[in-house]
Amino acid sequence: MSTAVNAEAPVANRFATGTTLTHASAKAALESGLLRIAAGATEVDCAPLAQFDSSALAVLIAWQRAAHARGVALEVVNLPAGLASLAQAYGVDSLLCRH
């Protein structure tokens, strides 16, 4: 089971999360995503996420902050319903989803 960020995204400016993004895998995922953002990624695909906890929210927000620091927006796509619900419960859904 993959816990890091998928380095082989089908779109040049997109990268995908691994299937798991929990406290145990958050540091590695964060670092991998930051490298992708530094290389120009502007979109993260969360479709592979099957197992996650609140650490996933922290990583996604950190990635967005890193992109913002580079002067670009990072779009979060295919956010699983359970993670969207968790984001809403923590009051950070507006940070992750475009309305």
The pLDDT of residue 3 is 46
- List all residues 6 or more positions away from 93 whose beta carbon is below 8 Å from its beta carbon: 84, 87
- Domains annotated for the chain, with CATH where assigned, are 14-96 (3.30.750.24)
The pLDDT of residue 12 is 75
Single pTM value for the model: 0.86
Percent of the chain, pLDDT > 90?
Answer: 82
Reduce the DSSP state of residue 37 to 3 states and report it.
helix
**pLDDT tens across 24-56, in order?**
999 999 999 999 999 999 999 999 999 999 999
Report the distance separating Cα 53 and Cα 12, nearest Å: 28
The pLDDT of residue 33 is 97
Q: What is the DSSP string of 3-35?
A: -S-BS--SSTTEEE--SEESTTTHHHHHHHHHH
Split at pLDDT 50, 70, 90, the class of 8 is very low
